[in-house]
């Protein structure tokens, strides 16, 4: 077998065998196959696609390229959640505690990553002293005792994907459904999940700009999960405007606390209840999503979710006093409203631009070395469908630098579009994909 033959076979539109796919993934990971041959194969895959079997084999080969975390010592069905990403997405900080409070073990390996705001770990570091440093044994012990722990990604998970994703990024081969699905699923499978709930975002602030593409990606990931014996469900959700109101680290943590108190934004609450319900069903803590939803609503109402967050923060060395006293969180020097120059119903909010404003203020990382300012960001006051008067505040900027505040203000003003006629609120949950098929709402 040679790499030349494999490239030629895919170039000519043929199906690759499992052995050929393994040869490629192993060879590329250990450096015997050079970037130029890997690039050529990726481009051939981009044009000629891969079928379900090839995609599942690619995923499995990437899983096997590194460590596979063994969570079997933890009792119960470990259900993981993955979001394809968006702006102001605070779901983990809410979902983790409510699902754990319902008895589903949450063994979450999170990252920092690049983006408009920090990752889950950065956000949790809003609690002074919070740390994800622990041995895998302590991680497993924490999940067993408390049903929840958040660890850092220390293990070498799917190194083949890491290398291939970086190569795809510079060779215009990211946008292929099989390659994206394999990339995401390889990391989830390697991190030890028994079952997986995927939140696949669609819209201006998402990776998948159209609904059709989002459904296709979800279907592909569900098929991979099913193929490798992991019960997987995809929920297609709107990311045409930021989720909730807050975009920033401490700001999103505060929003998560509000939501755990039952006082959160409607869309964020609804998304967490929907994703959480599927997690409870997959984790066999409820018969169906209706029953699961009632359990989760009760957990929020009785404050058990908030208690679980406190327990998590304290267990990992953090100061949980700001959960009851949010005024103890660090605040930035400048807190200024953004006043609308127009009047009418909000027709659209470019999610990507609001994210960029938060990044400009210092809420996220542009490079791996960037330092995050946990206190800065944007809180929106108006969402799609709301009426705005001229001079009314559409958002508040939290900043530590006046020049950046001005720049962010301009970006936010441009992100909003208005219309004189009434605008319908957007539908948040667009559909569900399971191994049995697709349901569109």
Q: How far is the CB of 220 from ligand URA (least distance, A)?
A: 12
Q: How far is the CB of 84 from ligand URA (least distance, A)?
A: 7
Does residue 116 have an active-site annotation? no
Measured from the CB atom, is 23 or 165 closer to ligand URA?
165
Q: How far is the CB of 165 from ligand URA (least distance, A)?
A: 5
Does residue 82 have an active-site annotation? yes
Give the C-alpha separation, 328 to 309, whole Å.
17
- Under 8 Å between Cβ of 118 and 363: yes
Q: How far is the CB of 256 from Ca ion (least distance, A)?
A: 8
Contact set with Ca ion (CB under 5 A)? 88, 90, 243-244, 246
Between the alpha carbon of residue 154 and those of residues 111, 158, 380, the distances in Å are 9, 12, 35
Measured from the CB atom, is 157 or 408 closer to ligand URA?
157
Helix or strand (DSSP H, E) at 56 = helix 52-63
Does residue 187 have an active-site annotation? yes
Catalytic residue among 10, 112, 162, 168: 168
Contact set with ligand URA (CB under 6 A)? 165, 174, 179-180, 183-184, 207
3-state secondary structure 60-101: HHHHCCCECCCCCCCCCCCEEEEECCCCCCCHHHHHHHHHHH
- Under 8 Å between Cβ of 86 and 206: yes
Contacts of residue 26, defined as CB under 8 A and 6 or more positions apart, other chains included, come to: 61, 65
Report the partner that residue 329 touches, choosing among ligand URA, Ca ion, none (CB closer than 5 to 8 A by kind): none
Report the partner that residue 165 touches, choosing among ligand URA, Ca ion, none (CB closer than 5 to 8 A by kind): ligand URA
Report the partner that residue 415 touches, choosing among ligand URA, Ca ion, none (CB closer than 5 to 8 A by kind): none
**Neighbour-count burial of 76, counting CB atoms closer than 10 A to its CB (0-12 exposed, 13-18 middle, 19+ buried):** middle
Q: How far is the CB of 186 from ligand URA (least distance, A)?
A: 9
Taken as a whole, the chain contains a residue count of 441
Measured from the CB atom, is 103 or 113 closer to ligand URA?
113
**Neighbour-count burial of 338, counting CB atoms closer than 10 A to its CB (0-12 exposed, 13-18 middle, 19+ buried):** buried
Report the partner that residue 88 touches, choosing among Ca ion, ligand URA, none (CB closer than 5 to 8 A by kind): Ca ion
Give the C-alpha separation, 432 to 366, whole Å.
33
Q: How far is the CB of 196 from ligand URA (least distance, A)?
A: 14
Does residue 161 have an active-site annotation? yes
| Position of minimal CB gap to ligand URA | 183
Between the alpha carbon of residue 66 and those of residues 26, 81, 111, 179, 231, the distances in Å are 10, 21, 17, 18, 22
Report the partner that residue 244 touches, choosing among ligand URA, Ca ion, none (CB closer than 5 to 8 A by kind): Ca ion
Does residue 356 have an active-site annotation? no
Catalytic residue among 10, 82, 147, 356: 82
Report the partner that residue 143 touches, choosing among ligand URA, Ca ion, none (CB closer than 5 to 8 A by kind): none
Residues that are catalytic: 82, 161, 168, 183, 187
């Amino acid at each position: 077998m040679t790499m030349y033959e494999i490239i030629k076979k895919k170039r000519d539109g043929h199906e690759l065998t499992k052995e050929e796919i393994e040869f490629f993934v192993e060879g590329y990971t250990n450096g015997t196959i050079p970037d130029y041959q890997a690039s050529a194969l990726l481009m051939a895959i981009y044009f000629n696609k891969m079928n379900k079997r090839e995609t599942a084999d690619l995923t499995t080969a990437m899983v096997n390229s590194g460590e596979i975390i063994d969570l079997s010592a933890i009792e119960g069905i470990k259900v993981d959640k993955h979001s394809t990403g968006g702006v102001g997405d605070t779901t983990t900080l809410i979902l983790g505690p409510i699902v754990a409070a319902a008895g589903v073990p949450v063994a979450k390996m999170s990252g920092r990553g690049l983006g408009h705001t920090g990752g889950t770990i950065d956000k949790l570091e809003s609690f002074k002293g919070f740390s994800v440093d622990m041995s895998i044994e302590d991680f497993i012990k924490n999940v067993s005792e408390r049903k929840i722990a958040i660890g850092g990604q220390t293990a070498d998970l799917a190194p083949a994907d890491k290398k291939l994703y970086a190569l795809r990024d510079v060779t215009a081969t990211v946008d292929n459904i099989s390659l994206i699905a394999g990339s995401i699923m390889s990391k989830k499978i390697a991190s030890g999940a028994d079952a997986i709930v995927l939140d696949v975002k669609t819209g201006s602030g998402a990776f998948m700009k159209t609904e059709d593409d989002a459904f296709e990606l979800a279907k592909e990931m569900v098929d991979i999960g099913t193929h490798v014996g992991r019960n997987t469900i995809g929920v297609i959700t709107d990311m045409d405007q930021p989720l909730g109101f807050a975009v920033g680290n401490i700001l999103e943590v505060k929003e998560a606390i509000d939501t755990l108190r039952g006082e959160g934004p409607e869309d964020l609450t609804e998304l967490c209840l929907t994703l959480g319900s599927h997690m409870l069903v997959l984790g066999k803590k409820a018969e169906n999503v209706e029953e699961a939803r009632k359990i989760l609503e009760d957990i929020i109402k009785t404050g058990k979710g908030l208690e679980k967050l406190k327990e998590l923060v304290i267990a990992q060395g953090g100061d949980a006093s700001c959960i009851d006293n949010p005024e103890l969180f660090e605040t930035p020097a400048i807190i200024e409203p953004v006043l609308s120059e127009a009047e009418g119903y909000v027709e659209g909010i470019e999610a990507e631009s609001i994210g960029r404003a938060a990044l400009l203020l210092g809420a996220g990382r542009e490079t791996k070395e960037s330092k995050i300012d946990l206190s800065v960001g944007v809180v929106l006051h108006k969402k799609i469908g709301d009426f705005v008067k001229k001079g009314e505040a559409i958002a508040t900027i939290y900043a530590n630098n006046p020049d950046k505040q001005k720049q962010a203000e301009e970006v936010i003003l441009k992100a909003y579009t208005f219309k004189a006629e009434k605008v319908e609120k957007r539908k948040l949950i667009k559909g569900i994909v399971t191994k049995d098929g697709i349901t569109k709402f």
